[in-house]
A and B are shown apart, each in its own frame.
Chain A
Amino acid sequence: MQTTLYRRRSGTISCVISLIILFIFSSCQKVVNLDLAEAAPRLVIDGLITDSIGPYRIRLTKSGSYFNQPVLTPVRSAVVVISNKIGTTDTLKEALPGIYLTSKLRGIPGRTYSLKVSSGNIEYTATSTMMSRVDIDSLKITKSPSRGFGIGGNGRNEKRVEIHCIFKDPAEKNFYRIKVYRNDTINTENYRLYDDEYTNGKVTDLQVGRANVGSVVRIELISLDKFTYDYYRTLRDLLRTNPIFGSTPANPNTNLTNGALGYFGAAAVSTRTIIITDSLFNSAK
């Protein structure tokens, strides 16, 4: 059974519509000066703990002005504590400005983790449950059937493959994020998310991306709880927002309290690597 990431549909549709518009009407663009009000700086918490070996990292920064200023202002000297329900408490140490590391905590699937950050007399909290790890059974490749639909393909005919990630989805509700590293680099804006709504409990063959022959591809299949998934989903939608066909933009849905931005998540990760050799390409369907 094959499955493309089902979110692709809505992307396709807005692509169609954009094309229709481009098709008939030439438009014009110009850079304009907007006078945007500056929001007061807000705390940004960026942290994910996993079932891999620690230390895990929580990064605290402040939001900045939209058009100018470097984005990253570290938040120093905050009190950052992660605890689980069975009594383990880890107070994180600030290793670099704004970067806090755990010292003894080990992420274990099935446990719920709470984060508490105290900075500037305000306490921010969040909890996340680490779902059980879903192992990747295998990675397979097929020859890439097309370079996608669109006008003006550049006519290149590279040897490209589709990468399939095959795993057995557990019977309960699962949410996934798939990270694709090609030669150790990742496109951070490309959130590949998957909800098992249509494949619950089944062996799932997920087409996760394309790669050229010669590349080394590492796939991480990350099990998420609903809130973390929802954060990534709304973050992805925001990053993709198209001013013509997008909905009204809004901040991603976060599990953090007191107006903090960002998220705190717990996730279990399964990893596999595949080297796309010529012989592998030739034997692929």
Chain B
Amino acid sequence: MIKKVVVCYFFVLFFCLPAFKAESGPSKTEKSKELTLSGFVHDSKTGETLTGVVIYPKGNSRNSVTTNSYGYYSLSLPSGMYVIVFQYLGYKNNIISEDFKNDKAMNIDLEEQSISLTEVTVNGEKSNRNVVSADVMTKLNVKEIQNIPVFFGEKDILKTIQLLPGISPVGEGNAGFYVRGGSADQNLILLDEAPVYNPSHLLGFFSTFTSEAIKDVTVYKGGFPAGFGGRLSSVVDIKMNEGNTKEFHVSGGIGLISSRLAVEGPLFKHKGSFMVTARRTYADMFLLLLPKKGADSIARKSSLYFYDLNFKANYDFSGKDHLYFSCYLGRDNFNLGTSMGLNWGNITATTRWNHIFSDKLFSNTSLIFSRYSYNFNVAVGNSTMNVLSEIKDWNLKEDFHYYLNSNNLIKFGFNSIYHTFIPSKVDSSALFRVKPMDNRYALENALYISNEQTISKHLRATYGLRYSLFSSVGPGTVYTYNEISDVVDSVSYPKGKIYNTFAGFEPRILLNYIVNDSSSVKASYARMRQYVHLLSNTTSSTPFDLWVPSNINILPEISDQYTLGYFRNFKHNMFETSVEIYYKTLQNQIDYRNGANLILNNKVESELVFGKGLSYGAEFYIRKKYGKLTGWVSYTLSKTQRQFDAINGGKAFLAKQDRPNNIAIVGMYEITPRLNLSATWVYYTGNAVTFPSGRYLVDGNVVPLYSERNGYRMPDYHRLDVGITWIRTKTAKYEGSWNFSIYNAYARENAYATNFQVDPNNPTKMQAVQLSLFKIVPSVTYNFKF
């Protein structure tokens, strides 16, 4: 099957390449030299670069280009008179007329417009980018989603993307999400290109991304560009704000459990800018209200909070060189009196250098650092134990964008990551007999090339190839196990020695058949390989979840995904609709032996079992982008299975990711320019779970009997959140607004877990007790900006 696909792929590649030549042919015969218009696109007010701006000669939207993730564009045209349209959601179109005789560099500013204005301005066409582009991603700007009601008033981009089709939350109080039946660790979550290994705070009730610091998020669920790799199921590419290059601003919010503050402004005479944001929760302040003596005195001395800091600065050297530096630091802290402490968090830092070699060749070089760690300490009497665990990456990434001509955009580059895994460094007194686990080191490399090609008026394609390699680096010991998980052999490698390399091609292709300006059919195939894996056999995510590298005992995970979608816009692109079907197979999926111990276990790989996964489904999506009422409706119908020889007697079973029906409705309504109403409603089938189907007595204990893995379901989940935003003061200098929201407005008792216990009224009977977390959670936040 796979071989066939690869053959098909190369067939298409060879089929396309001649087209490539044929396309460049006619322009020569016309004897008109192709010229290039290039530059950056900025927000006129803040000077922030805008990514994904659509640029095309009027009347020919199929020949559009978009600004890349640094706001750069390059449009090739035969010389002549043109009207060029610059189009971006939430901004007024900028239309320029030029008589092109030479290559031209031109930076463009776009002016933001309030949503109500969009209704009245007849400022021409709206973008049909979703229809004509040769990609299948969803991009959300923080501005578009700022009024969506959220838990405790904390705007959360990771929670918002879970309202898109094909993406479903792991569960209440969990920042994790499943994309098209993939597990939560198969999502590549990038913050300014740096992978964030644990994007959750407070066990997942909040995500690590402070909305003030974020510009936009782009989500890929399939049809992956060749530039991305390393995870099977999705890429969530989050970009931080760059900071206002024109003037200083302070903004922030004061909420019930946390407050935020952001400062931004120009640097070096407007050649650069910076942005700093900070957020801290103070839920634990309430603990101080507890009595000083008695039962709650320990609680009084305890703490529980998290904070986030984001910083970004950039400097434009000459128009041809642009340097960016961004970093993020976030940490959760939990202390229980003096007897126990636990803190965990991420640090990322990215330095990027954009260089424009010519108006056709753009490059970006990134040096990225990323680290997730936790610290756990316990004191009993005089004995103490401290455990430190971390995963740390140094990452060098190079990307080139070569705008060959009006029909071809070639992207190529490489990525080299040096991973350090320190599963546990233990410092303990004798009472706790704990051995540290071996550190692991690995080198992950990838090379890629892709071409975005306009083959004809009706056909656009993006095709590419990625080659990834993953090698273990010494020092390290590789164990060999027998069937009952006993070590039978071990080989040790010295420092710096490269061993156990896995490598493979990852072909990617996406074809877009453009029926007309408002409808298209897109098909894609993508293979992904994943070399680092998150081990967690608990229902909820915990700070102790462990990342492990591939080795001879943990083979790389591989997925092959096919998608077919029909995209159609209505009412001059005011409504975007799509139907997409996908079929995804997964290899070397990980599950756990019965009774597996994943914590502080040096032979943790012997506790794993491996199997296959299959997921397929259909996604329906309608989005209204303009007007007083905006929002979307998404519905996903899907099935997800796993099959392991060692589980469920080898029979395939429904995966915990299986959510046959998943609906999300998001609505935002502008009553007046100062008053916004919003609501979201979500519904999904309850999780597949394992419940007992009998019980028996052994060794003096009543033991539940299980006959099938995930044979039951939790009750269906549904919830309505509503919010209202009232802009109280709005002057040229100050803006203040109140946000009131209610999470779970109709107090649905959604099942979080089901516990079985002896019926207190009748000890011979058992009863099931359902645990729900939140009934109604109201919240209020005051936001300001000056």
Contacts and interface: CB of A to CB of B under 8 A. Distances in A.
A248 B694 contact: no
B701 A188 contact: yes
Given A6-B433, A67-B767, A248-B710, A28 B699 contact: no
Contacts of B766: 66-67
Nearest to A241: B704
Interface bracket on B: 35 or more
Interface stretch (A39-47, A89-97, A129-137, A216-224): A39-47
B697 A4 contact: no
A13 B537 CA distance: 14
A66 B769 contact: no
A283 interface: no
Given A9-B600, A36-B693, A25 B773 contact: yes
Interface string B206-246: 00000000000000000000000000000000000000000
Contacts of B705: 39, 42, 63, 66, 251, 261
Contact of B696 (A63, A150, A189): A63
B720 interface: no
Contact of A247 (B434, B596, B700, B774): B596
Interface stretch (A77-85, A228-236, A268-276): A228-236
A151 B340 contact: no
Interface in A236-285: 237-239, 243-253, 261-263
B693 A44 contact: no
A171 interface: no
Interface in B528-567: 537-540, 542, 544
Interface string B758-786: 00000011111111111100000000000
Q: In the complex, which of the residues B283, B703, B756 has the most CB atoms of chain A within 10 Å of its own CB atom?
A: B703
A19 interface: yes
Given A17-B542, A32-B754, A32-B770, A9 B696 contact: no
Interface string B287-321: 00000001110110010100000000000000000
B203 A10 contact: no
A243 B753 contact: yes
A206 to B, nearest CB: 10
A27 B752 contact: yes
B694 A38 contact: yes
Interface stretch (B92-100, B109-117, B331-339, B659-667): B331-339
Contacts of A27: 752, 771-774
B539 A244 contact: yes
Contact of B381 (A20, A29, A146): A146
A4 B434 CA distance: 10
Contacts of B599: 9-10, 13
Contacts of B537: 247-248
Given A32-B770, A151-B295, A151-B298, A235 B698 contact: yes
B698 A44 contact: yes
Contact of B544 (A13, A37, A68, A145): A13
Contacts of B592: 247
- What is the predominant secondary structure among interface residues of chain A facing chain B? loop
A230 B486 CA distance: 13
B517 interface: no
B706 A250 contact: yes
B299 A38 contact: no
A72 interface: yes
Contacts of B296: 151-152
Contacts of B427: none
A29 B769 contact: yes
- What is the predominant secondary structure among interface residues of chain B facing chain A? loop
A24 interface: yes
A25 B539 contact: no
A64 B342 CA distance: 43
A249 B592 CA distance: 11
Nearest to A230: B595
Contacts of B299: 23, 151-152
A155 B294 contact: yes
Contacts of B431: 2-4
Contacts of B381: 145-146
A126 to B, nearest CB: 13
Given A149-B336, A243-B771, A64 B694 contact: yes
B690 interface: yes
B401 interface: no
B629 interface: no
Interface string B471-489: 0000000000000100000
A52 interface: no
A203 interface: no
Given A9-B600, A44-B698, A239-B703, A234 B773 contact: no
A88 interface: no
Q: In the complex, which of the residues B337, B382, B433 has the most CB atoms of chain A within 10 Å of its own CB atom?
A: B433
A174 interface: no
A29 B378 contact: no
Given A2-B430, A34-B768, A243 B698 contact: no
A21 to B, nearest CB: 7
Contact of B695 (A63, A155, A188): A63
A20 B334 contact: yes
Given A151-B298, A153-B295, A250-B690, A245 B703 contact: no
B336 A61 contact: no
Interface bracket on A: 35 or more
B627 to A, nearest CB: 38
Contact of B378 (A12, A153, A253): A12
Contacts of A10: 597, 599
A114 interface: no
Contact of B711 (A37, A145, A251): A37
A153 B293 CA distance: 12
Contacts of A20: 202-203, 304, 334
Contact of A149 (B173, B339, B704, B772): B339
Contacts of B620: none
A1 interface: yes
B129 interface: no
Interface in A47-74: 48, 61-68, 70-72
Interface in B370-408: 376, 378, 380-382
Nearest to A33: B768
B691 A36 contact: yes
B355 to A, nearest CB: 47
B753 to A, nearest CB: 4
Nearest to B536: A247
A29 B537 CA distance: 24
Contacts of A67: 765-768
Nearest to A35: B712
B203 A21 contact: yes
Contacts of A30: 749, 769-770, 772
Given A31-B768, A230-B595, A23 B304 contact: yes
Contact of B767 (A31, A237, A244): A31
A199 interface: yes
Contact of A31 (B378, B764, B769): B769
Interface of A: 1-4, 6-7, 9-10, 12-14, 16-17, 19-21, 23-25, 27-34, 36-39, 41-42, 44, 46, 48, 61-68, 70-72, 145-146, 149-155, 188-189, 198-199, 226, 230, 232-235, 237-239, 243-253, 261-263
20 contacts: A1-B430, A30-B772, A33-B768, A37-B693, A38-B693, A46-B698, A63-B705, A67-B767, A145-B381, A145-B382, A149-B337, A150-B298, A151-B298, A238-B704, A243-B771, A245-B539, A248-B537, A248-B710, A250-B709, A263-B698
Interface of B: 173, 202-203, 205, 283, 294-296, 298-299, 302, 304, 334, 336-337, 339-340, 342, 376, 378, 380-382, 430-435, 484, 537-540, 542, 544, 592, 594-597, 599-600, 647, 656, 690-707, 709-712, 749, 752-756, 764-775
Given A48-B699, A248-B537, 9 more contacts: A3-B431, A27-B772, A28-B771, A31-B769, A36-B692, A44-B696, A44-B697, A63-B696, A251-B706
